[in-house]
Structure 1
Amino acid sequence: MLRGAGLVGVFGLLSACQLVEFSPNQAYVPAQERGLNGQALARLQTAPNPDDTVRFVFVGDTQRFYDETEEFVASVNQQRSIDFVLIGGDISDFGLTREFRWVHQRLRLLDAPYLTVIGNHDLVGNGRAVYREVYGPLNYTFRYQGTHFICLDTNGREYGFNQQVPDVQWLQQQLADTAGTRQTIVVGHVPPTDEDFDPLVVPRYTAALRDCAGLVFHLGAHIHRFTVGQPYHDGVTYLTTYSLQKKRYHILTVWGQRKFRLETVTYGVEG
């Protein structure tokens, strides 16, 4: 039996090493793993590009694809001049703290900062609270080299299609804030063309995007495959990307006035 100083020593060791997990749904993470989107943005703003070109990686749905994530990191680190990496949601599969941490342990090895939006799987169980603890607000924006990125929760089904998600009023406010903005990119996990997007919100959401003169495109994930087009025939381009399981990702380069280039990278495929 352990007593006195020996017992205190054991509990101190367990606490220091973060070995104790009281519940798989707990939202506690070490201080250095909190607010990761904010940490990435702070890092990004310290090293701006010399011109207006923004070059970033976009991929979706890391979920339980841990081996593929390691290969993804190795591939991205071989690319030239990447400003940041954008993960299009479903970082976790069951909204568990350990899943978010396992993915971060791999993505933190990226040479460039990485940012995320929340996916429908990230909202399972206590996932919403965990995501907020690990990454920060579900809706947020940032500007980089004159490009305004608006990242928001578009997972309508997870809220019972309550017509509140995505928050169109908040989106409209961000789209109207054009100070220092040359062009705009909107990012959400579930695209409005998907059945998991609240159908009653689609008209207002797509109208808000259509009315944004500087919109380059809308980025999504969720469907685990690449699509690009203008499904509403209103001049707005919608693009979805691959899941990490597909061992493909996109490099998007934007510059000037709504000019962009799309590259597809395949990695870790034998033969």
Structure 2
Amino acid sequence: MLNRFRSFPRLTLLSAVAALSLSGCEMLEFSPNDFRSPDDEKDLTAKNLERLRQQPLPAGDTLRFVFTGDSQRFYDEAKDLVASVNQQPGIQFLVVAGDISDFGMGREMRWVNEHLRKLKVPYVTVVGNHDSVGNGREAYQHIFGPLNYSFVYGDTKFIMVDTNGREANFDGSTPNMSWVRQQLSDLSGARRQIVISHVPPQDADFDPTLTDAYAGALRTTPKLVFEMNGHRHDFGVSQPFNDGVNYVNSYGFEKRAYVILTVWGDKQFRLKQVKF
């Protein structure tokens, strides 16, 4: 027995010891791309929308929400942002305009959620280009939910669109224009619409074969208030196509600032910049 024990390769013994020492863990990440997560860190979009439904906004009431983007690896800033937002009165929810992660890893998305789950209000996200690298799209769908989705809150229909065309090799599939047009054509009982995506259509990372179609679809939507984006890490409001459609870009977390949007009436809105 002793001789046979000594004949084991040293590496095999070390591997066995390592496996035994880790056997008490609930979960092992065998790869940095492993996006498995416990139940309370799955389907976060659906869970946050359910929280929002439990706090209905009566018809005609003013909508007020926080807009930010590109959390990536800015975890200290995420902590401070949550503390600041929790002090704001009358906020109904928060939107992160993509790039929750930096390298498309599930662990990054869960780390950001560890901070954002401490918000007093629900939060929703849209998928970003950094969330789309590697197996990031699968991780995003596992942890958050669909890449394209919509919901109605109060008088407003929110349309959340995957616009990460470069990560789809500019193959004409992203954004999904058939889905976008269908969503824009159906108010679902709402009074107005807001479109939120990560990459703005005037950006080089947006599929150039779809720019005109996307901008044109928004231009011909009479109930559209504005289109909102992340990706550029800085705040701005512009009409890049000179067609009357306002595009609102978000701060990145590292800028230590966010925007509060107040919306009322058919298309009236006000923007307030908050630094933290």
TM over 0.5: yes
Q: TM-score, normalised by structure 1?
A: 0.92
Q: Work out which of the residue numbers 30, 51, 61 in structure 2 matches 1:22.
A: 30
- Percent of paired sites with the same residue: 51
Q: Work out which of the residue numbers 86, 89, 93 in structure 1 matches 2:95.
A: 86
Q: How does 1:173-192 map to 2 (within 5 A)?
A: 173-192=182-201
Greater Cα offset, 225-234 or 76-85: 225-234
Partner of 1:148: 157
Q: Work out which of the residue numbers 36, 48, 54 in structure 2 matches 1:46.
A: 54
Aligned amino acid, residue 44 of structure 1: L
8 Å Cα contact 2:152-2:188 kept in structure 1: no
Runs of 4+ in 1 over 2 A off after TM superposition: 7-11, 49-52
Tell me how far apart the structure 2 counterparts of residues 203 and 8 of structure 1 sit (CA, whole Å): 58
Q: How does 1:198-209 map to 2 (within 5 A)?
A: 198-209=207-218
SS of the aligned residue for 1:100 comes to helix
Tell me how far apart the structure 1 counterparts of residues 142 and 44 of structure 2 sit (CA, whole Å): 9
Tell me how far apart the structure 2 counterparts of residues 158 and 179 of structure 1 sit (CA, whole Å): 31
Q: How does 1:256-271 map to 2 (within 5 A)?
A: 256-267=265-276
Tell me how far apart the structure 2 counterparts of residues 245 and 64 of structure 1 sit (CA, whole Å): 9
Q: CA deviation at 1:264?
A: 0.3
Tell me how far apart the structure 1 counterparts of residues 76 and 22 of structure 2 sit (CA, whole Å): 33
RMSD of Structure 2 on Structure 1 (CA): 1.5
Partner of 2:85: 76
Tell me how far apart the structure 2 counterparts of residues 150 and 77 of structure 1 sit (CA, whole Å): 25
Aligned amino acid, residue 263 of structure 1: K
8 Å Cα contact 2:65-2:262 kept in structure 1: yes
Tell me how far apart the structure 1 counterparts of residues 268 and 96 of structure 2 sit (CA, whole Å): 22
Q: Matched residue pairs, number?
A: 258
Aligned amino acid, residue 35 of structure 1: D
Partner of 2:8: none
Matched, 1:172 2:181: yes
Tell me how far apart the structure 2 counterparts of residues 248 and 198 of structure 1 sit (CA, whole Å): 29
Q: List runs of 5+ in structure 1 lacking aligned partners.
A: 2-6
Tell me how far apart the structure 2 counterparts of residues 178 and 106 of structure 1 sit (CA, whole Å): 33
Q: CA deviation at 1:179?
A: 3.2
Residues 123-182 of structure 1 deviation map (CA, whole Å, 9 limit, x = unaligned): 111101000000000000000002000001001011111111001110000011123110
Q: TM-score, normalised by structure 2?
A: 0.91
Aligned amino acid, residue 25 of structure 2: L
The structure with more radius of gyration: 2
Tell me how far apart the structure 2 counterparts of residues 140 and 171 of structure 1 sit (CA, whole Å): 10
Q: List runs of 5+ in structure 2 lacking aligned partners.
A: 1-12, 14-18
Partner of 2:246: 237
Alpha-carbon spacing, 1:10–1:162, altered in 2? closer, same or farther (3 Å): closer
Q: Work out which of the residue numbers 223, 228, 234 in structure 1 matches 2:237.
A: 228
Tell me how far apart the structure 1 counterparts of residues 250 and 184 of structure 2 sit (CA, whole Å): 23
Tell me how far apart the structure 2 counterparts of residues 83 and 141 of structure 1 sit (CA, whole Å): 17
Tell me how far apart the structure 1 counterparts of residues 220 and 204 of structure 2 sit (CA, whole Å): 23
Partner of 1:4: none
Q: CA deviation at 1:27?
A: 2.3
Tell me how far apart the structure 2 counterparts of residues 10 and 103 of structure 1 sit (CA, whole Å): 26
SS of the aligned residue for 2:269 comes to strand
SS of the aligned residue for 2:65 comes to strand
8 Å Cα contact 2:192-2:267 kept in structure 1: yes
Tell me how far apart the structure 1 counterparts of residues 61 and 21 of structure 2 sit (CA, whole Å): 55
Partner of 2:258: 249
Aligned amino acid, residue 14 of structure 1: C
Tell me how far apart the structure 1 counterparts of residues 53 and 132 of structure 2 sit (CA, whole Å): 29
Tell me how far apart the structure 2 counterparts of residues 265 and 122 of structure 1 sit (CA, whole Å): 26
Q: Work out which of the residue numbers 110, 131, 139 in structure 2 matches 1:122.
A: 131
